Amino acid sequence: MRISQLSTASGVPIPTIKYYLREGLLPAGEQTSATRAEYGERHLRRLRLIRALLEVGHLSIAAIREVLAAVDDEGMSMHRVLGTAHYALAPRIEPGPDDEEWRRARQEADGLVAGLGWQVDARSPARDELAQAVLTLHRFGLPATVQALRPYAEAAERLVGEHEIRTLPRGGSREEAVEALVVGTVVHGRILDVMRRMAQESASARVFGTPATDR
Amino acid sequence: MRISQLSTASGVPIPTIKYYLREGLLPAGEQTSATRAEYGERHLRRLRLIRALLEVGHLSIAAIREVLAAVDDEGMSMHRVLGTAHYALAPRIEPGPDDEEWRRARQEADGLVAGLGWQVDARSPARDELAQAVLTLHRFGLPATVQALRPYAEAAERLVGEHEIRTLPRGGSREEAVEALVVGTVVHGRILDVMRRMAQESASARVFGTPATDR
pLDDT for the residue A212: 45
Q: Does B88 score more than 90 pLDDT?
A: no
pLDDT for the residue A97: 61
B137-166: per-residue pLDDT in tens? 998 888 888 888 999 999 999 999 888 877
Residue of B176, B202, B15, B33 whose CA lies nearest to A161: B202
**d(CA A11, nearest CA chain B) in Å:** 9
B90-142: per-residue pLDDT in tens? 877 776 666 888 899 999 999 999 999 999 999 899 999 999 999 999 988 88
Question: Could you give the CA distance from residue A11 to residue B47 in angstroms, rounded to a whole number?
Answer: 45
Task: Kindly report which listed range (A20-24, A164-168, A174-178, B103-107) carries the lowest average pLDDT score.
Answer: A164-168
What is the rounded average pLDDT of the residues A51-76? 90
Question: In 10 A of CB B71, how many CB atoms?
Answer: 20
Query: Is pLDDT larger for residue A209 or for residue B19?
Result: B19
B14-34: per-residue pLDDT in tens? 999 999 999 999 999 999 998
Q: Which of A45, A48, A134, A136 to mutate to test the interface with B (most CBs of B within 10 A)?
A: A136
Task: Kindly report which listed range (A30-34, A130-134, A209-213, B115-119) carries the lowest average pLDDT score.
Answer: A209-213
Nearest to A56 among B52, B132, B202 (CB): B132
Contact state of A167 with B143 under an 8 Å Cβ cutoff = yes
- Contact between residue B211 and residue A121 where contact means Cβ atoms under 8 Å apart: no
Is B9 exposed, middle or buried (CB count within 10 Å of its CB: 0-12, 13-18, 19+)? middle
Q: Does A61 score more than 60 pLDDT?
A: yes
Domain residue ranges of chain A, discontinuous segments joined by +: 1-55
Contacts of B15 (CB under 8 A, 6+ apart): none
Is A113 exposed, middle or buried (CB count within 10 Å of its CB: 0-12, 13-18, 19+)? buried
Nearest to A159 among B56, B94, B151 (CB): B151
Contact state of A126 with B79 under an 8 Å Cβ cutoff = no
Q: Which residues of B touch A126 (CB under 8 A)?
A: 194, 197-198, 201
Question: Could you give the CA distance from residue B133 to residue B113 in angstroms, rounded to a whole number?
Answer: 14
Tell me yes or no: is domain A1-55 CATH 2.40.10.10: no
**d(CA B142, nearest CA chain A) in Å:** 8
